[in-house]
Amino acid sequence: MLFFGGDYNPEQWPEEVWAQDVALMRQAGVNIATVGVFAWSDLEPEPGRYEFGWLDRVLDLLHDGGVQVALATPTASLPPWFTLAHPEALPVTADGVRLTHGSRDTYCVSSPAYRAAARNIAGRLAERYAHHPALAMWHVHNEYGTDCRCDVTAAAFRLWLQKKHGDLSTLNEAWTTSFWSQRYSDWAQIGPPRATQYMPNPAHVLDFRRFLSDELLDGFIEQRDLLRAANPDVPVTTNFVQGGWVSVDHARWAEEVDIVAVDHYPDDAGAGAEEQTAFAADLARGWGGGSWLLMETGPNLIYTSGRMHAKEPGRLTRHSLGYVARGSGGAMYFQWRQPRGGAELFHSALVPHAGPDTPVFREAIALGRTLRNLDVAATDQPAARVAVTWDAPSWWALQGPGLPAGDIDYLGAVRQAHRALYRAKLQTDFVFPGVSTDLGDYRMIVVPHLYLVSDEAAAAFRDYVAAGGTLVVTYLSGIAEPDSRIRLGGYPGAFREVLGMRVVEWHPQAPGATVALSADLTAGRWIERVETAGAETISLYADGPLAGAPAITRNRYGAGSAWYLSTALTDDSLQTLLHEIAASAGVEPVLPDLPSDVEAVRRGDLLFLFNHGGRPATVGDVVLPPGGVRIRSADVEGAPVGRG
């Protein structure tokens, strides 16, 4: 059974609305509600005084209506009484400003008072609801990612550093502290990166982000263990959020949750939204090791640079089924009912301010019906022969100070590689070489901007190619060791041997620059002086300062081949190139000859066909209306088993 539902905040509404909610949920086929995410001040209005009566009634009502519950611990938003009693638990910014109560996520995860209060409320909920018949899963906290630089954090950071580096001289070496007289002679001299005169030490900044990820994870694990102890049969999760500000290494966290749950909000109103949907779903499936759940997305909303874009009719269905096709255990939204006030008062909902007699709610009813008719098991997952690497610490390092260009964009580079494969209609997975050196049995692996690479991961990539794999490495990969010290002898250090070449000079170009390459390819923004050492040159720089020098190379290594892309190819050029490389590696599109606007995904026995374009499209004997979705048995030619 696929989940269909989303965040439900009955505490924001008078009780008579709850019965309407459940009736509407039944009408739409909603079978799960995430309850209590930010309800702490309604659950514990004063320290030690609990109000569980309303939550009892909500859970019973939902259960009677056939709706299961993802019950949240409310620890992402503290009640006002807590912050008054514990001002030291409020987070401090890098500028030394202690934040004030008034929003959410205003806590320091290292604060003992915060942690005790979080354990307490999670424990009370566990005690009361662990065996409630409506309980389908625990939803710990919300979108972990808060940052604090206070003195308590500083002490926790030092302990983490001691555990990681062992002794100060190892840390001094790893951080290259002789640069600008930063050599530490006592642990007490080290704090979180705070506002300083000029650029901070990149290794310090990177270790702090890794520390934050582990510290937040400790906070999660404390709650998870309490909840598990109360009833080991109920899965525990937390909703992952992706963003440049989030210091959470989800690939590592994935091992600690029972279900990988992901929030995703595309930020491109055009076809980019569909591409981002595919990207987020493929990445989440990778984190989940083959299964995952879309915990939140906007029912009728795409945020585009400060503007809300309403989804066109049918797009809610297309996006939702897009996540499901790529392995999600359901489609869940933020949120069920649009609130009357509060900070997100205009964020979209399945039941908007205008009520249920609206396009979005009507579409939700139809979607609920489609999801009910879909027969997919969590273990039915799309199978891919090509993978892209993902590494959160490389992202963080490429946000650091002192980089050679201001427009280096890790997420952009990974998205671009995924987008090129998506447009070539190739089903794509992700691999996580910073967490596991198991590179699977993919025919092809694309490595965009994998800046930090360990010796073990470098060896795994060499073995992969030697055994017959096809590796495609882009510029800014393999540059540094995991602690961010540069690998000497020429870039891309960790990959030099397998690639049979080296880079001796970077030539960052102006944003918007265009550089012509031979073989009809176009690039810009970034070029490099490449020296081959065994690799053959596939494409040369045709103009610009490196005219005549190698731009794209290929090295035969053992039974496989390893490509190097020394420049920022345009979308079209990257797509052409990756398509050709994939074809030569024997990676086939999901279906041959698909129209450009059509996306096809196989999940188990089902074939999902999406027409993202504005005109009808034909795939075999299936005619897809503009914006339409058809779901067919992948093996049997027959009638659609569901439709959007």
- List interacting residues with ligand GLA (CB under 6 A): 142-143, 263, 265, 296, 334, 344, 347
Contacts of 74 (CB under 8 A, 6+ apart): 36, 37, 38, 39, 40, 43, 121
Structure tokens belonging to residue 612: 């993202």
3-state SS, residue 540: strand
Smaller CB distance to ligand GLA: residue 76 or 629? 76
Residue 357 beta carbon to ligand GLA: minimum distance, rounded to whole angstroms = 24
Q: How many CA atoms lie within 13 A of 170 on its CB side?
A: 8
Alpha-carbon radius of gyration of the chain: 26
Residue 142 beta carbon to ligand GLA: minimum distance, rounded to whole angstroms = 5
Residue 526 beta carbon to ligand GLA: minimum distance, rounded to whole angstroms = 33
Smaller CB distance to ligand GLA: residue 105 or 597? 105
On whether the CB atoms of residues 160 and 211 are closer than 8 A, the answer is yes
Residue 87 beta carbon to ligand GLA: minimum distance, rounded to whole angstroms = 25
C-alpha–C-alpha distance, residues 272 and 266, integer Å: 8
CA dist list (Å): 245 to 209, 241, 405: 10, 10, 19
Residue 65 beta carbon to ligand GLA: minimum distance, rounded to whole angstroms = 23
- Angle, helices 202-230 vs 112-129, to 10°: value is 30
3-state SS, residue 505: strand
Smaller CB distance to ligand GLA: residue 13 or 50? 13
Per-residue burial over 171-207, b = 16 or more CB atoms within 10 Å of its CB, e = otherwise? bbebbbbeeeebeeeebeebbbbeeeeeebbbbbbbb
Smaller CB distance to ligand GLA: residue 223 or 389? 223
Smaller CB distance to ligand GLA: residue 180 or 346? 346
Residue 347 beta carbon to ligand GLA: minimum distance, rounded to whole angstroms = 5
Tell me if the bond preceding 12 is cis, omega within 30° of 0: no
Smaller CB distance to ligand GLA: residue 82 or 240? 240
On whether the CB atoms of residues 566 and 475 are closer than 8 A, the answer is yes
Structure tokens belonging to residue 26: 């039944």
Of 485, 494, 551, 554, which is closest to residue 519 (Cα–Cα)?
Answer: 551
Residue 535 beta carbon to ligand GLA: minimum distance, rounded to whole angstroms = 45
Of 193, 244, 173, 252, which is closest to residue 217 (Cα–Cα)?
Answer: 252
C-alpha–C-alpha distance, residues 70 and 294, integer Å: 13
Of 520, 589, 528, 513, which is closest to residue 564 (Cα–Cα)?
Answer: 528
Alpha-helix residue ranges (DSSP H) falling in 191-314: 202-230, 250-253, 272-287
Q: Catalytic amino acids?
A: 143, 296
Smaller CB distance to ligand GLA: residue 252 or 264? 264
3-state SS, residue 531: strand
C-alpha–C-alpha distance, residues 328 and 308, integer Å: 25
Smaller CB distance to ligand GLA: residue 76 or 452? 76
Residue 450, burial from CB neighbour count under 10 angstroms (0-12, 13-18, 19+): buried
3-state SS, residue 320: helix
Q: What is residue 76's DSSP assignment?
A: T
On whether the CB atoms of residues 257 and 250 are closer than 8 A, the answer is no
C-alpha–C-alpha distance, residues 492 and 457, integer Å: 14
On whether the CB atoms of residues 594 and 584 are closer than 8 A, the answer is no
CA dist list (Å): 531 to 74, 496, 534, 547, 624: 56, 11, 10, 14, 50
On whether the CB atoms of residues 462 and 432 are closer than 8 A, the answer is no
Residue 239 beta carbon to ligand GLA: minimum distance, rounded to whole angstroms = 6
H or E, element range at 315: helix 315-325
Residue 102 beta carbon to ligand GLA: minimum distance, rounded to whole angstroms = 15
Smaller CB distance to ligand GLA: residue 344 or 580? 344
Residue 68 beta carbon to ligand GLA: minimum distance, rounded to whole angstroms = 19
Smaller CB distance to ligand GLA: residue 142 or 575? 142
Smaller CB distance to ligand GLA: residue 334 or 608? 334
CA dist list (Å): 327 to 273, 277, 354, 640: 18, 12, 33, 19
Residue 472 beta carbon to ligand GLA: minimum distance, rounded to whole angstroms = 33
Phi, psi of 136, rounded to the nearest 5 degrees: -100, -35
3-state SS, residue 350: coil
Residue 165 beta carbon to ligand GLA: minimum distance, rounded to whole angstroms = 35
Smaller CB distance to ligand GLA: residue 133 or 342? 342
CA dist list (Å): 540 to 214, 289, 557: 44, 39, 21
